[in-house]
Chains A and B, each alone.
Chain A
Amino acid sequence: MTDDPTTALRATRLGRRFRGGWALRDCDFALPAGRITALVGPNGAGKSTLFHLATGLLRPTSGDLRVFGAEPGSPAARDRTAFLAQDKPLYPRFTVDDTLRFGRELNGDWDHASAERIVRAGNIPLDARVGALSQGQTTRVALALAFGKRPDLLLLDEPLADLDPLVRIEAMGLVMAEVADRGTTVVMSSHVLSELENACDHVLLLGRGAVRLDGDAQRLCDTHVRITGLADPATDDGLPPDVDRATVVEAAVTGRQVHALLRHSDWSPGDPWIVENPSLEDLLLAYLRSDHPAEAAA
């Protein structure tokens, strides 16, 4: 395996099977370093499994996953990776101060000042018990612990779930401010697509354990078109017969109109069609709604 410094997370035919079947199977992707990747997919798509594989908490059943060229869970990979699990586990009986000390004692390279600054900025008393904090405060302490590690790769599994809108914005702002300075690579899963749109510049879409879309967010938007026009009554999907059906991600007829999302192709719609580039949220929603398998684009 080549240790490409521009690749933070590389999967090669990665698979992980549980008793119920394959959670991930034959996944190939390379997530670029220094970028913020949105990990998207319906529940059960394998997002949490991927995070657990990337932290070494799980081992792959088949294939290989590398963090900056190192095996996940190895000392080299552990030192560079910080992980915020979905349930944001912290020791409830520890004080905030204990929790930060936990980070200091268990990590060689630890930025205590940064961690403390993040906690103080949230007006969280250091002697408060973690179990008594609000969800927003818990998220902030968990993020402080993650950033104190000075990670090169920050893995956030549903960091915004269960947070009220104000706290969500605050948490996202905190993540963005911290990673901007250091050029940290972030992989973040979320169901809140509108928030990913503003934050992420790379997309990895999983569905049923497979990679359905992997690429630069802007390129993906540029290489897809959303078209709206009069439905063709002669076809099932309302699109003209000369559209290459392999490029259709999603098509829906409402009344006499058809809305469709297509991958870029030679076919160009004529004058009566409204053609626009989709927003990232549009694009992701179309893929999430559709069952078509898609090649990795861009």
Chain B
Amino acid sequence: MKGTLWLAWRQQRALILTGAAVLLAVTAWVVVMRTDMTGFISSHHIDTAGCKGWDGGCESEATLKLLDDNNGPLRALGSLSTALPVLIGIFWGAPLLGRELESGTWKLALTQGVGIGRWFTTRFALATASTVLGSAVLAALVAWWWSPVSNMLGGLYWHDGYIFNATGPAAVACALFGLAAGTAAGLLIRRTLPAMAAVLGAVVAVRFALNSFRSDWISPQLWISKGDAPRREIGSGWSTGEFGFVDAAGRKHAIPDACPWGEGLPDLKTCMAQKGFTGRYRTVYPSGDFWTFQWIETGIFVGLAAVLVAAICFVLKRRPLP
């Protein structure tokens, strides 16, 4: 390796090698666990593909054990993948410029033959490549292990945080955001430890906000069942929690207990007729919306990361460093 690439490697090799070792160990563990899982599925002849949703209709001792055995470890892997952007922000982003500014080594680096642009770009590029590779491998491991038992009975669903935040392009984009936020925090705060705290707060806050407002990005599907026919099962969809009755004009009445069921009360059909309801409804995001949500949040994370990188470049160009 030559020039600034050598410097980038020399400064980040401990992180890269540690990360690679952890990733290798996790991969080995996932391979063992998933091999066990698929072995169990085939030896018990479980039709996982035909058993999607809460009402999958395949409840048996074997399927319950299958989910019992895998939910916990899958959640652990999902937690690791979800925490990765924070870890990258803290250990990779915050020291990238923060430690140079704190220890004064930026003066050494920037008075050599290479300019500030190449010095920063090469080091940030290596960090970016490592971040994308590491987060993509972890996201892929989550998806690979989870897919046979996905959206199944009481297992993990696509909209669970352990899965949604841990896999797909949004997980990779979030890791990039963590790196950019950590780098920016180090540059602006000029000290590593407070920058680490700042990036922890920033990534957790953005994740929390996205998890809270996710269901506002797109409209759910409206599922109406006519008359007193039972509401359509949610299956592997994501219920918004809103359900109620519709009247002849098609207006929605989000009053789930408008027609309570009990002794001495009129039956459902009579009650609905009395109140002018013609059917029942619920609103649900079908499992296909996973990708819509993923791409929306990928866009948000990549956009935030781009804004931060632009801000970093702006500050670096304007001497003095803050």
Contacts and interface: CB of A to CB of B under 8 A. Distances in A.
Interface stretch (A91-99, A173-181, A286-294): A91-99
Given A106-B7, A108-B113, A149-B112, A87 B104 contact: yes
A47 B218 CA distance: 60
A6 to B, nearest CB: 24
A89 B108 contact: yes
Most chain B CB inside 10 Å of its own CB: which residue of A90, A105, A145: A105
A21 interface: no
B104 A105 contact: no
A232 B110 CA distance: 57
Contact of B3 (A83, A98, A105): A105
Contact of A91 (B2, B105, B107, B319): B105
A83 B104 CA distance: 13
A75 B117 CA distance: 12
A82 interface: yes
A82 B112 CA distance: 7
Given A52-B320, A56-B319, A73-B319, A85 B108 contact: yes
A85 B104 contact: yes
Interface string A131-150: 00000000000000100010
Contacts of A26: none
Nearest to B11: A91
Interface residues of B, number: 23
A123 B109 CA distance: 25
A73 B112 CA distance: 10
Interface string B1-25: 0111011001100000000000000
A83 B103 CA distance: 16
B107 A83 contact: yes
Given A57-B110, A58-B320, A149-B112, A89 B6 contact: no
Contacts of A106: 3-4, 7, 109, 112-114
A94 B12 CA distance: 12
Interface string B211-246: 000000000000000000000000000000000000
Contacts of A57: 107, 110-111, 319-321
Contacts of B7: 102, 105-106
Interface string A53-89: 0011111000000000000010100110111010101
Most chain B CB inside 10 Å of its own CB: which residue of A55, A102, A107: A102
Contacts of B113: 75, 78-79, 106-109, 149
Nearest to A75: B115
A90 B115 contact: no
A52 B2 CA distance: 28
Interface string B74-114: 00000000000000000000000000000111111111111
Given A90-B108, A92-B103, 13 more contacts: A57-B111, A59-B319, A75-B113, A75-B115, A83-B111, A87-B104, A89-B108, A103-B112, A105-B2, A105-B3, A105-B7, A106-B109, A149-B113
Interface of A: 52, 55-59, 73, 75, 78-79, 81-83, 85, 87, 89-92, 94, 98, 101-103, 105-109, 145, 149
The 8 closest A-B pairs by CB, nearest first: A89-B104, A106-B112, A107-B113, A83-B111, A89-B105, A85-B107, A59-B319, A105-B6
